[in-house]
Amino acid sequence: MKDSTKPVKDEGFGFAGAQTVILAILLEKERHAYDIAREIRRLSEDRLPVHFGTLYPTLYRMERDGLIASTVEQPVGERQRRTYCLTDKGHAEAVRSRMAWNNFATAMNKIVNRGEEPI
């Protein structure tokens, strides 16, 4: 029997999944990269692995594509950090990707679980 409390194997979280999750996290408020990663781990109860080798390139690509904007902060006594927030285009994409994800998840659940409780 599979232990559902263990993190899932990182098999393709990749850019598309990471972008969807980042958009959802940034809908709430602006955050720096470490805070985004921490929130993903917290909300997924440590089931979604967050690799900075995926996170940073995804953030850079999203900024290049106009979905997010960043500002550099220098808190007193702390390291410089970059904070990310959604643009209007990013907000619209977050709403669109949430609807697409919900449709996908509903369809997959109907096929994979066939009306039974997920394992």
Q: Model confidence over 31-66: pLDDT tens digits?
A: 999 999 999 999 999 988 888 888 999 999 999 999
Average pLDDT value for the chain: 86
C-beta separation of 23 from 90 below 8 A:
yes
* 98 pLDDT above the threshold of 60: yes
- Look-up: residue for tokens 């999203």? 62
Rounded Cα gap, residues 60 and 44, in angstroms:
23
Rounded Cα gap, residues 2 and 78, in angstroms:
42
Percent of the chain with pLDDT over 70: 85
* 5 pLDDT above the threshold of 60: no
Nearest partner of 96 among 2, 23, 18, judged by Cα: 23
3-class secondary structure per residue, 4-37: CCCCCCCCCCHHHHHHHHHHHHHHHCCEEHHHHH
Rounded Cα gap, residues 44 and 42, in angstroms:
6
| CB-CB neighbours of 77 under 10 Å | 5
* 89 pLDDT above the threshold of 90: yes
Domains of the chain by start residue, with CATH? 14-112 (1.10.10.10)
Specify the pTM. 0.79
Rounded Cα gap, residues 36 and 22, in angstroms:
7
